[in-house]
Structure 1
Amino acid sequence: MCARLSGSVLVTGSNRGIGLELVRQLCESPCPPTHIFAACRDPDGPNAKVLRDLALKHPQLVTTLCLDTTNQGTIAEAARLVGDQLKDGSLNLLINNAAINIPGSLADTGEKEMMEVFLTNTVGPMLVTKEFLPHLRTAASRPGAQSEMSCRRAAVVNVSTLFSSIQRCHETFLRAPMYPYRVSKAALNMLTRCLSEDLRADGILVMALHPGWVQTDMGGPQAPLSTEDSVKGMLNVISSLSDQHVGALLDWEGKSIPW
């Protein structure tokens, strides 16, 4: 697999699951990006050991960053470090992957659960995108940048879910109510559409991507899709993005999901 990514990539929530697999496959691609920034809440903690080992294996390619999407200070510091490390200050691809899930029916869900999940899954991607926007704009406008929007120019990919689809809620709700997760990801979809319109004139492509039901801590062992297969599909979709995908919600196979 060659995802045909170039330039610099930043992945949030990269210490486990889909985020870790994104970093791994980008590292092992026959045509990897020039640099990968692997961000998570505690890159020096026990839950990030596999990520640290990956970074040690690819020291010229991977830089780990402390970035808590609920902490503005860590987001700003991560953006500063990325700007210092990149020669021209340009970031080509931001993948907002970090997310949490607190399963809950209506009876089990209160303000605390809703706000905690909303802060990470919706507000977090907005704050991260806002802080890294100068680097994305630099990439989109640098001399020689292609005119068509793509991940090789400048793009933001928000990791969403089928459970965010209002139109298809009747198909999925009973087997997984998950009020906080569903509502926060539906709000992420609107954030994606707003950003896509706001940043279109800058040449920055913004879209949302559903990774499938994946065998992760969040998806559980009963999920039908491995992280390897999910991420392979995701990277193929990301590498093929163009103007026609601005503001889209796609799955890991490139199929459109209704809002």
Structure 2
Amino acid sequence: MLAGNILVTGTNRGIGLELVKQLAQNTAEGAHIYACCREAEGTRAEALRALPTQYPGKITVIKLDMSDEDSISAAVHAVSRQIGADGLNLLINNAAVNKPASPAPLSATGKEHMMEVYETNVAGPFILAKMFLPLLQRAAERGSAAKEMGNTMSCRRSAIINISTLISSIEKCPETFPVAQMYPYRTSKAALNMLTRCQAEDFKMHNILVTAIHPGWVRTDMGGEEAPLTTQDSVHGMLNLMSSLSNKDSGKLLDWQGNIIPW
């Protein structure tokens, strides 16, 4: 079971909203979820704003635009003030955009799409993790119980989970490309995988686990109605997986059931 201070981005709908719901239901006593979204006061976040009432004292909604460094900085400061000395145990980078609309063929894709998607899907998680690193280190230092058991890394202690995708796999591109070209989304998530590998190498000295997870093909606005997985099943699988991650999983790309996806 996950515990401590947990922050999730992109939580106003789909997988992000379901992550907040299931974390509120299934985390250890004393856990707190920081649910971040771009338009926290807008109509698209009504379902998210209702959750703190359903789970009193367990959820804080934070405004966060992953494409805006000032917004990221403001969110980090807001969370830091609330967390205090405990540190941040788990950062889930779920927020992502896909432009132009699927299937996003080459003919419809311009430079502006590539840059906008990269800014949110790669630069955003990079800056957020960089700014939260002191709080992640603080949580890692406090997690002495895991260290005593000889397994220094876990999502209960200190971890970054980057939500990636099967279509980020360069090896599997010949299989997946005909279904959806999605140049900006594919290339941004491949870059997120490299960010995951770099962070895993960089942060292992601090005992901070960094893993990328593919949530499956999920029935969301982005996934479409043909997708076989519900958000409930995908998130249930991912949270089970996160609860079991350890040193051996840092720097990997796994699917929601724990299978390794080739780069």
Mark yes or no: TM-score above 0.5: yes
Q: Percent identity?
A: 54
Give the alignment of 1:97-246 within 5 angstroms: 97-102=94-99, 103=102, 104-142=104-142, 144-147=144-147, 148-246=152-250
Instruction: Give the secondary-structure state (helix, strand or coil) at the position aligned to 2:180.
Output: coil
1:46 and 2:43 matched: yes
What secondary structure sits across from 2:85 in the alignment?
Answer: coil
What SS is found at the alignment partner of 1:86? helix
Distance 2:192 2:228 in 1: 25
- Matches of 1:194 and 1:181 in 2, distance apart? 20
**5 Å matches for 1:40-119?**
40-102=37-99, 103=102, 104-119=104-119
Q: Please report how far the alpha carbon of residue 31 of structure 1 lies from its aligned counterpart in structure 2 after TM superposition.
A: 3.4
SS at match of 1:146: helix
Distance 1:93 1:143, change over 3 A: closer
Structure-2 change in CA distance of 1:58 and 1:158 (3 Å): same
SS of 2:114 mapped into structure 1: helix
Unaligned runs of 5+ in 1: none
Contact persistence 2:15–2:220 (CA under 8 A): yes
- Give the structure 1 partner of residue 31 of structure 2: 34
- Check the 8 A contact 1:83/1:89 in 2, yes or no: no
**Distance in 2, Cα, partners of 1:230 & 1:204:** 24
Q: TM-score scaled by structure 1?
A: 0.96
What's the secondary structure of 2:127's corresponding residue? helix
Question: Which letter does structure 2 place at the counterpart of 1:10?
Answer: L
SS of residue matched to 1:250: strand
User: What stretches of structure 2 of length at least 5 have no aligned partner?
Assistant: none
Higher mean alpha-carbon deviation, 159-168 vs 144-153, is at: 144-153
Corresponding residue to 2:4 among 3, 7, 10: 7
- Say if 2:2 and 2:27, in contact at 8 Å, map to a contact too: no
Over the aligned positions, Cα root-mean-square deviation in angstroms equals 1.2
- Asked if the contact 2:3–2:27 (Cα under 8 Å) also holds between the matched residues in 1, the reply is no
Structure with the higher helix share, 1 or 2: 2
* Count of aligned positions: 256
CA distance in 2, matches of 1:31, 1:6: 5
Letter aligned with residue 21 of structure 2: R
Secondary structure class of the residue paired with 1:95: strand
Q: Calculate the TM-score normalised by the size of structure 2.
A: 0.95
Contact 2:158–2:207, Cα closer than 8 Å, also in 1: yes
* 8 Å contact from structure 2 (residues 143, 157) kept in 1: no
SS of residue in 1 equivalent to 2:23: helix
Shift in Å, 1:59: 2.6
1:182 and 1:28 mapped to 2: Cα distance?
Answer: 33
Tell me: CA distance 1:33–1:179, structure 2 relative to 1, closer, same or farther (3 Å): farther
Q: Which moved more, 1:96-105 or 1:17-26?
A: 96-105
Q: Deviations over 1:119-166 (max 9, x none)?
A: 111111101111111110110112635221000110000000000000
Q: Structure 1: how far apart are the matches of 2:83 and 2:225? A: 38
* Structure-2 change in CA distance of 1:108 and 1:76 (3 Å): same
**Closer, same or farther: CA 31–41 of 1 in aligned 2, 3 Å:** same
Query: What is the identity, as a one-letter code, of the residue corresponding to 2:13?
Result: R
Amino acid at match of 1:39: C
Cα displacement (A) at 1:29 = 1.5
Q: 1:33 to 1:214 in 2, by over 3 A?
A: farther
The answer (yes or no) to whether the contact 2:40–2:63 under 8 Å persists in 1 is yes
